[in-house]
Amino acid sequence: MPVATRRTEDVAAIRSQIRAFLENAPRPSGLRDYGPTPTAADVAPGRVWHKYLAEHGYVCLHWPAEYGGADASVAFQAIFAEECARAGVPRQLAITAIDLAGPVLIKFGTDEQKSRYLERIRVGDDIWTQLFSEPGAGSDLASVRTKAEKTATGWRISGQKVWSSAANSADYGLLLARTDADRHRGLSMFVIPMASPGVSVRPLTQMDGESKFNEVFLDGVEVGDDALIGEVGQGWAIAIMTLGRERLTLGSQAVAMFRLHERMVEAAREHDLLDPVLARSMTKLWTRMWLLRYTWQRAIDAGDTSSAAFSVLKLMTSETDRDLGDMATEVLGTDACADPADNELVHHMLVGRAQTILGGTSEIQRNILGERVLGLPKEPR
């Protein structure tokens, strides 16, 4: 039965149904839970998996039904994310196309843009990358310097982007560029075909050996007027909506930490390191994870995805994930030097700290919460 027809909020029934589906789903060779972003090697099995989910109504859960989505409640989305983490499978091909680009196109795109892009996103034909951050404009996106200049036939775009997830596998980019000098009203949003002349991608090798992030260089890239999303100067408002959706998605990581914590306990026992001091630390971390889980549930129950609770979740989830990674050094002993490709805990030890940087640094999140939620004076700039 398609997800869109299941309107019951019986949590136990929903969870049982999703769990049974995932347990019985055929898994393509090479599929792993690579998280929100596939590496180049993950794309082929990830696409097969995504298409299977799409055939059974388990993708685009938050999209309206008229665009092929399930129009599912936030609670349903959270349960699906939780059960995918439990089953050790990705919940979709990649984060950017469905969770970020799709909602932007649905709200701001033309009918032609929706027709051209949305269905291919839904079925996993196209991968998208987010072209927001720059070497001099990471968390401060209003400082973007990539320029889009008007031409007789469209726009000419030049600049550099960085930390662009899956750009080396992407078909399209969601690009924030400057069309005017005004700090906020001078930004506009574009769709960039990544195969366009003038686009070059340089993968960045992470300390775990993977290459999920990239530098992207745009050297006089020509696009038509139909590449503009929304109106000229509307890019900042679109970017804010996109970042809110990204932080909602990142906050949902709270549901995926318990399996990793269980592996930490197993490793500590295997290495005979589970003494009272380590046990106390692991219990405190376990308590924080449950607090996150219940905060996530309260935010879901409220049904307001713009709630400040999601900013709190992004901040606290990132820092808990970091501390979970740091704990790996205490439970692995000399195995901490193992190849991260062969050891899940070593891998998390290396990448856990990145969670406090991507999607908005912890420092920026604290500023947002202090200034916009608590009403504290703005930080001197």
Q: What positions carry a catalytic annotation?
A: 246
- DSSP secondary structure code for residue 112 in this structure: H
Helix orientation angle between 257-270 and 344-351, rounded to the nearest 10 degrees: 120
Q: Say whether 368 sits in a helix, a strand or coil.
A: helix
Longest dimension (CA), the chain: 71
Read out DSSP for 61-105? TTS-GGGT-----HHHHHHHHHHHHHHT--SSS-HIIIIIIHHHH
Q: Say whether 174 sits in a helix, a strand or coil.
A: strand
- For residues 324 and 282, the answer to whether their CB atoms sit within 8 Å is no
> How far out from the chain centre does Cα 254 lie?
13
304 CB contacts (<8 Å, ≥6 apart)?
A: none
Q: Say whether 348 sits in a helix, a strand or coil.
A: helix
Phi, psi for 24 (deg, rounded to 5): -100, -5
Read out DSSP for 309-329? HHHHHHHHHHHHHHHHHHHHH
